[in-house]
Chain A
């Protein structure tokens, strides 16, 4: 039972354009959502998060949008840079579960010149 899904395994975007990564979830108890970036043979690096009381959070080039009614979140990267090429995981946790993270399957982003 995959409670967090990233339906696009890969995405290719030109440098300077917007990258949009999507994530869907099924568990209505999730109230905190995070995006991590991962390079090969390294641990995930935290990018940005959003709690369920908000519908948008912004940090520099990264913006996360949350649509609770659709159980959908997205990460926007503007402008995309070659160094953004990596695998992006969305993750979710429910209050009172020791912040146990459930990860999506990941989207490989390639930013081309």
Chain B
């Protein structure tokens, strides 16, 4: 199984809503990532988890709250988002160690009204 799954595929939320994005992998990877991608731009790193611990936060606003409940799951909790947060949110995982590629999920297309 070389797949990273993400749910939901699409999400529309208001600025006062609370929602969560979910990511799952069963490849035994111990590094997991959240990226944000705006149209016609490259993916931008948001968070990195290594062995279920947050290792990198790229100065992401606190309205985005990541969580890694176990080695297979990664969540991104959303609260009080702004319309400019509308984007494709990508999850990725990687086997720990040097020179290993990241595997990406299909993404969640988020629209904030």
Contacts and interface: CB of A to CB of B under 8 A. Distances in A.
Interface of A: 32, 34, 36, 41-46, 49, 51, 89, 95, 98-101, 103-106
Contacts of B41: 105
B74 to A, nearest CB: 14
B104 interface: yes
A97 B104 CA distance: 18
B104 A45 contact: yes
Chain B interface residue bracket vs A: 20 to 34
A89 B92 CA distance: 15
A44 B45 CA distance: 14
A85 B48 CA distance: 30
18 contacts: A32-B98, A32-B99, A34-B102, A36-B104, A41-B88, A41-B106, A43-B106, A44-B43, A46-B101, A46-B104, A98-B31, A98-B50, A99-B98, A99-B100, A100-B45, A100-B56, A101-B45, A103-B44
